[in-house]
Amino acid sequence: MTAPPEGFRHLPGHFPPDAQASLLEAVRAVVARAPLYVPTLPRSGKEMSVRMTNCGALGWVTDAARGYRYQATHPVTGEPWPSIPGILLDLWAEVSGYPHPPEACLINFYSATAKMGQHQDRDETDFAAPVVSVSLGDDCLFRIGGTKRTDSTVSLRLRSGDVAVLGGESRLAFHGVDRIYPDTSTLLKNGGRINLTLRRVTKP
């Protein structure tokens, strides 16, 4: 594939450095109440390489016993997820083209060696809304294909402050993160990458 699928939009540098710092502060406040944990895959129970948490009414979680799902509480603490920071609600209103607020914001932390295999975001009931993604920290190599696993893919480098929107055909496109480029950003003192994905889960 020479071009990303229809409906995919990459907005490089959407957030300037000061806004990235504000986002990071908001993420830290979420993580203080909803700690990062190690998700495990359905069936195999294999640990994923990313560390994960959420904010919003619903959070995406996975474990060996119950598989992929959305739930209102943190799987380790049992507490409700913190609310989605205003700056992210504003982003959603600006770029989603969807007239209702997001319900979930998945927060993935990638160490220098973390990866995310090709997958579809398909645990939501409402695919009319796009998935809106924000990158913070080190650059990554993001790869996106079509709605079939065998479709050809394109790779692009996502940098801190970039926003990506998966709408239209690309809403159900296979995508993943092949690698992190260490020490390409100074936003996170200890390196790594944070990805925020905003999603509408239920039909309004």
In the bound state with DNA, the residue whose beta carbon lies nearer, of 22 and 127, is 127
In the bound state with DNA, the residue whose beta carbon lies nearer, of 22 and 68, is 68
| Residue 111 binding DNA, by CB under 7 A | no
How many CB atoms lie under 10 A from the CB of residue 139? 19
Q: How far apart are CA 159 and CA 110, in angstroms?
A: 13
Q: Among residues 77, 141, 133, which one has the least CA distance to residue 105?
A: 133
| Residue 2 binding DNA, by CB under 7 A | no
> Which part of the chain contacts DNA (CB under 7 A), choosing from 25-33, 37-45, 90-98, 183-191?
37-45
| Pairing assessment for the beta strands 193-199 and 154-158 based on DSSP bridges | unpaired
39, two tokens: 């998700």
Least distance from DNA to the Cβ atom of residue 118, Å:
7
Q: Among residues 7, 11, 4, which one has the least CA distance to residue 167?
A: 7
> Which part of the chain contacts DNA (CB under 7 A), choosing from 38-46, 74-82, 97-105, 180-188?
38-46
Q: Which residues are paired to 9 by β-bridges?
A: 165
| Residue 148 binding DNA, by CB under 7 A | no
> Which part of the chain contacts DNA (CB under 7 A), choosing from 1-9, 95-103, 112-120, 139-147?
112-120
| Residue 121 binding DNA, by CB under 7 A | yes
| Residue 69 binding DNA, by CB under 7 A | no
Asked whether 158 and 4 are in contact (CB, 8 A), the reply is: no
Residues contributing to the site for DNA (CB under 7 A): 41-46, 48-49, 60, 62, 68, 115-123, 149, 176
